[in-house]
């Protein structure tokens, strides 16, 4: 049984453009963001509209490969492909872009993107610590000034604090919805969970989104109390980790669920990675934003021990029976971390990991199906 | 209702069928897959009847979709190649601990416990490097029939290294060597060495407990067998029909299910 409130999330991405139309007409700028490090709170506090642009589909990749090398991660190629083919309405709607210097491929791609639209780059440090935090706070300030001059609006401390509060609330609610999958019978499939959390990139009004999440959580909690499940009984519980996944690049999640498993928690960026990292709602909001984002356990960080502790926590809470570590082809940082993840999950939790390296094409679907089914047979 | 069970392994190059009756294997057969997989399946199943079919191989889902409706073939199930090869290899060699299967487009290494349970497996990524496809491609490039390619390579008088594992680049490398006047046998040996090296590193990742069963069509290639034996320091066990191991395993899976069911009914 699928929760009825899920339908409202299905259409969000499609409604977004219509929803922002009046706001754009009233003069609001749209700012395209690419990754979890982007402080969408700052964008909103400047009276602008953040929209997620990360490329998740295969379609624009051939166009991107005319400029970018073929052996680059599909996420980067897809993002760039969308930018140059004019086939992504969200990209078309964006007035400005913001990128962070995360992995090498992405940051070099941003140099090309800068020729397509006005682009602001935030220089991300690759470690946590006081010096890095001070530096990253300074980058937050630079982004704030960029937004102020682009929009002509001043970002006030109170305004920013209010946006932080709203985003924290969204994260708390997402965590509450996800939490329900920790029960024996999950009321939510992994694909549905993905759609719900992905919708946060496409909401014109985060407050309305929070209200939808609240309704969904209430409905799911009622389902769980009544013992109603959104997935087949006996489905193998899988913890997904690795590169971000979304609508268009959900191949592996879909294959897992078609093969009789359920993704009970996704550790990656499109999943839980930063749901429980809340920004401090008092004090200097720029510091709060810098502090929050700097501890995101992305593989571009070094060392990145946070990923393992997050996996530990998710393992305890969601009791997975197996781990799937998904790496997009040529994503060096996640690929290199893979043996570490496998060793850790087996050594500490006795859990097997299936490492999958693939891209957005469907070329290897049947081969992946075999590997996934065989992996599930082993559990 | 007969208790005849059959296993069908639909691979990229060949389709294997094994029919198990009360007394064991009643019938077996292997045909090329061709571009019309379902037509070949129908041809293979001509005149065969039973109460349970188990499909494996890359075409197993297609088979399930087409023949899954209850009818002449009774119930139809599917299992992965990994399980099928493990089951088949254990039936032929009850102490087997590792299975290497080099098929038309996949290479798999499967590790089993002493009791025969699959514990780990490795499979090549999507590209055909190190698979039967690679050999087929190279045999064509060197104008040698595929079934004689291994023997041809064994006629080499020196070992040259082909560094590319990519099918396309390896062909380029082979062509370059030909242009330099290198003997075709030596080039063929170089190509075999490249595959054997790749397979060995896959085996290395999993750890190879003897006995090792070598299944799949490439097990018929004497040069690959010789090189693996040298590299691993052990002789792989090669079934009489290496390309029917998957189909045999699938059929055995069906048998096991049947006997489980009848023992349940007996209770
Ligand atoms: S994985 Fe890292 S670089 Fe990629 S979107 Fe997430 S935070 Fe950004
Ligand atoms: S998936 Fe990996 S390579 Fe691709 S953008 Fe993210 S961190 Fe970079």
Q: What is the pLDDT of residue B17?
A: 95
Sequence-ordered list of residues with C-beta below 8 angstroms from that of A55, at least 6 positions apart, any chain: A74, A75, A76, A77, A78, A79, A80, A81, A82, A88
Residue among B58, B80, B125 whose CB faces A374 most closely: B80
What is residue B160's predicted lDDT score, i.e. its pLDDT?
86
pLDDT category at B232 given cuts 50, 70, 90 is: very high
According to the model, what pLDDT value does residue B13 have? 85
CATH assignment at residue B253: 3.30.420.40
Mean pLDDT calculated for residue range B175-197: 89
For residue B135, pLDDT over 80 is answered with: yes
Q: Chain A contact for B200, CB < 8 A?
A: no
Is the confidence metric ipTM above 0.85 for this complex? no
Q: Give yes or no: residues B148 and B191 share one domain.
A: yes
Protein residue whose Cα sits closest to atom 6 of ligand 1? A269
Same-domain status, B14 and B78: yes
Q: What is the pLDDT of residue B176?
A: 84
Arithmetic mean of pLDDT over chain B: 88
B78-86 mean pLDDT: 95
Say if residue B242's pLDDT is above 90: yes
Confidence of residue B237 (pLDDT cuts 50, 70, 90): very high
State whether B4 and B116 are in the same domain: no
- B223 with B102, same domain: the answer is yes
Which domains are present in chain A? 9-157 (3.40.50.11890)
Same domain, B65 and B45: yes
The verdict on B115 and B224 lying in the same domain is yes
pLDDT surpassing 60 at residue B267: no
Query: What is the DSSP code (8-state) at residue B71?
Result: B
State the total domains in chain B. Answer: 2
Distance from CA of residue A112 to its chain's centroid? 23
- What pLDDT shows up at residue A3? 86
Domain match, B177 and B124 both: yes
* Distance spanning both ends of chain B, measured CA to CA: 20
Report the gap between the CA of B140 and the closest CA in chain A (Å): 25
| pLDDT beneath 50: ranges in chain A | none
pLDDT surpasses 70 at B265: no
Residues in Cβ contact with A9 at an 8 Å cutoff, skipping those fewer than 6 apart = A195, A196, A199, A212, A216
Are B111 and B142 part of one and the same domain?
Answer: yes
The pLDDT value recorded for residue A142 is: 98
Is B112 in the same domain as B228? yes
Averaged pLDDT for residues B60-83: 86
Is there a contact between A374 and B125 if contact means CB atoms under 8 Å apart? no
Q: What is the DSSP letter of B14?
A: E
User: Do B73 and B105 lie in a common domain?
Assistant: no
- Residue A204: what pLDDT? 86
Mutate to test the interface with A, among B10, B121, B246 (most CBs of A within 10 A): B121
Predicted confidence (pLDDT) per residue in B1-30, tens digit: 568 899 999 988 899 999 999 888 988 999
Who among A358, A370, A374 is closest to B58 (CB)?
A: A370
Same domain, B121 and B180: yes
Same domain, B77 and B109: no
Supply the range of the domain harboring residue B22.
Answer: 1-93+241-266
Closest CA relative to residue A100, chosen from A53, A167, A60? A53
Q: Using the atom order of ligand 2, give the atom closest to the CA of residue A76.
A: 5
């Amino acid at each position: 049984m699928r929760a009825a409130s899920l339908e409202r999330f299905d259409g969000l991405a499609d409604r977004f453009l219509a929803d922002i139309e009046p706001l754009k007409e009233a003069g609001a700028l749209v700012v395209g963001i690419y990754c979890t490090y982007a402080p969408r709170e700052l964008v909103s506090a400047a009276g602008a509209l953040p929209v997620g642009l990360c490329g998740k589909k295969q379609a624009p990749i051939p166009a991107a490969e005319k400029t970018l090398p073929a052996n680059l991660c599909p996420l980067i190629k897809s993002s760039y492909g969308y930018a140059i083919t004019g086939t992504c309405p969200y990209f078309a709607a964006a007035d400005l872009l913001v990128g962070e210097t995360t992995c090498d491929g992405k940051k070099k791609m941003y140099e090309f993107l800068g020729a397509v639209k006005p682009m602001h780059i935030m220089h991300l440090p690759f470690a946590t610590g006081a010096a890095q935090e001070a530096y990253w706070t300074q980058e937050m300030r630079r982004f704030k000034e960029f937004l102020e001059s682009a929009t002509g609006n001043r970002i006030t401390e109170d305004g920013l604090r209010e946006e932080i509060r709203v985003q924290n609330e969204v994260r708390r609610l997402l965590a509450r919805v996800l939490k329900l999958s920790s029960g024996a019978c999950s009321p939510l499939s992994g694909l549905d969970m993905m759609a719900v959390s992905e919708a946060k990139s496409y909401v014109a009004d985060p407050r309305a989104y929070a209200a939808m999440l609240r309704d969904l959580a209430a409905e799911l909690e009622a389902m769980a109390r009544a013992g109603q499940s959104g997935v087949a009984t006996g489905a193998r519980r899988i913890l997904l980790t690795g590169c971000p996944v979304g609508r268009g690049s959900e191949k592996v999640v879909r294959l897992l669920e078609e093969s009789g498993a359920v993704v009970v928690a996704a550790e990656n960026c499109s999943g839980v990675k930063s749901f429980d990292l809340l920004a401090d709602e008092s004090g200097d909001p720029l510091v709060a934003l810098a502090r929050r984002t700097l501890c995101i356990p992305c593989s571009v960080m070094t060392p990145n021990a946070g990923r393992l502790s997050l996996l530990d926590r998710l393992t305890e809470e969601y009791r997975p029976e197996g781990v799937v570590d998904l790496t997009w082809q040529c994503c060096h940082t996640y690929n290199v971390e893979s043996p570490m993840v496998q060793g850790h999950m087996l050594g500490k939790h006795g859990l097997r990991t299936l490492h999958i390296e693939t891209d957005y094409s469907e070329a290897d679907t049947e081969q992946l199906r075999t590997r996934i089914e065989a992996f599930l047979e082993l559990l | 209702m007969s208790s005849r069970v059959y296993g069908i392994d639909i691979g990229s190059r060949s389709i294997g069928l094994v029919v198990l009756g009360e007394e064991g294997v009643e019938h077996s057969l292997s045909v090329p897959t061709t571009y019309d997989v379902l037509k070949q399946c129908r041809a293979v199943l001509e005149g065969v009847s039973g109460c349970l079919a188990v499909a494996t191989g890359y075409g197993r889902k297609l088979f399930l979709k087409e023949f899954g409706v209850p009818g002449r073939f009774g119930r139809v199930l599917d299992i992965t190649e990994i399980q099928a090869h493990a089951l088949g290899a254990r039936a032929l060699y009850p102490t087997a601990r590792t299975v290497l299967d080099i098929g038309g487009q996949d290479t798999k290494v499967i590790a089993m416990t002493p009791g025969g349970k699959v514990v780990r497996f490795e499979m090549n990524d999507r590209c055909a490097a190190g698979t039967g496809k690679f050999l087929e491609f190279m045999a064509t490039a060197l104008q040698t029939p595929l079934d004689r390619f291994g023997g041809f390579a064994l006629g080499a008088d020196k070992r040259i290294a082909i560094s590319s594992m990519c099918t396309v680049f390896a062909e380029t490398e082979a062509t370059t060597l030909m242009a330099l006047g290198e003997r075709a046998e030596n080039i063929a040996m170089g190509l075999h060495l490249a595959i054997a090296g790749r397979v060995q590193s896959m085996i290395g990742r999993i750890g190879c407990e003897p006995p090792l069963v070598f299944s799949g069509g490439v097990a018929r290639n004497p040069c690959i067998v010789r090189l693996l034996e040298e590299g691993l320091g052990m002789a792989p066990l090669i079934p009489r029909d290496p390309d029917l191991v998957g189909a045999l395993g699938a059929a055995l899976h069906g048998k096991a299910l049947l006997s489980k069911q009848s023992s349940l009914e007996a209770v």
